[in-house]
Amino acid sequence: MFGIAWGVVSIVLMVAAGEGLRVGQAKQAETLGRDLMIVFHGRTSLQAGGLRAGRVVHWVDSDLPYLQSETPDCQYAIPELEQNTVRSHTAYNAAAFTVTGSTPDFAQIRSLGIAEGRFYDEDDFREARRVAFLGSDARKQLFAGNPAISQLVYLNDIPFTVIGVMSSKKQDSSYDGWDINKVFIPYSVMRRDFPDKPPGTPYTFDQLLVVPRSVERHEACAGQVRRVLGRLHSFDPNDKEACPIWDTIKEAKAFRTMTDGMKYFLGAVGIVTLFLGGLGVMNVMLVAVRERTREIGVRKAMGAPARSILWQFFLEALFVAIISGGVGLLVAFGLCALVDLLPMPDFFAGLLPTWETGILALLVLGTIAILSALYPARRAASIDPIEALRHEAGG
């Protein structure tokens, strides 16, 4: 029956669309960084320790050892220092890019893929080597199709050796510009050659990048960071304006809740459609029972037990429902495969049917098949043979 087949198709397609949206958004969020919290410096809004509200707070290098030793629920807590007024040029071209300095863990934390060469390592960081890792668009503009690895790029006329190029990525969120348009250098070099500008000091940096040891521990990690920084800079740990945190984990959870709600709603619409299809099967079987009343009477008069009549019509209805549902499943998964061959927007991963969706559709289908078959079968089994023999087909 078309109704059952369409109901199954509806369940699979609607839930697959919701899953595709969730997966697509999750992948886009990971272009900024996976399970990332960005801790900005701010201005106090509460009095603390006898100090007035309204003070500007800056993170300093001396905070880092305390953060690394007193935040057991955090896997990483690294600094990031940036300058967006650095002039860049090579033998081929000149441009202005944001220059970013951090530790070697930055590439993993911020999801920087490597297309050529390598990212700076611990030796580069420890020895403060003037090496640079280029964003993909920065490489195009500075080298114009020429080889970049081992070539020199001048940052404010200071020569840096290019050691790597980032693979291109589509980034849908940022706190300081797109990564493809940046130049990345070791934090030790950034601190020496491009220190923070006033009102900062030579020891301040722009933001902390924090990653919890697990998603479940991210609230505890954020609380530990606030308490440590609050003690070091004399502000109330509950003062969120002094220590604003962009929590991408919380955003991801909120978005997943929204997409799950949408997925369940769309699935419920499909289930309702499937139930309506089941009513159609029931009506068809009731008509069949009526049309075959005389046949039933003859069989009963010849000694056929009511149970055999019940099983005959039950299995017929069950067969119709299962065949219809199976066709619906094949059509739904086939449509998903065809649609996934088309180009998709960045935020949508395509129609992604899951085994859970298939099992749910089969369970609902089985329930509806039994319910739609049971009533007509019992109706057929309860027919009085004498009345059945008097019945004229179509009467």
Q: How far apart are CA 359 and CA 281, in angstroms?
A: 21
Burial of 120 (0-12, 13-18, 19+ CB in 10 A): buried
Q: In which band, very low, low, confident or very high, does the pLDDT at 395 lie, cut at 50, 70 and 90?
A: very low
The closest alpha carbon to 170, from 19, 36, 348, 350, belongs to: 348
pTM, two decimal places: 0.72
Residue 75's φ and ψ, nearest 5 degrees, are -85, -40
And the tokens for 214? 């697990």
Question: What does the pLDDT look like over 269-321, one tens digit per residue?
Answer: 767 776 776 677 677 767 766 777 777 777 777 777 777 777 777 777 777 77
Residues 344-353 have a mean pLDDT of 79
Domain boundaries, the chain: 2-28+252-390, 34-246
And the tokens for 68? 């690394």
How many residues make up the chain in this entry?
395
| pLDDT of 183 over the 60 cut | yes
What is the three-state SS of 271-305?
HHHHHHHHHHHHHHHHHHHHHCHHHHHHHHHCCCC
Q: How far apart are CA 238 and CA 45, in angstroms?
A: 10
Confidence at residue 57, expressed as pLDDT on a 0 to 100 scale = 92
Distances (CA, A) of 18 to 216, 229, 235, 346, 357: 24, 40, 43, 15, 11
Question: What does the pLDDT look like over 203-257, one tens digit per residue?
Answer: 999 999 999 999 889 899 999 999 999 999 999 999 999 999 999 888 878 877 8
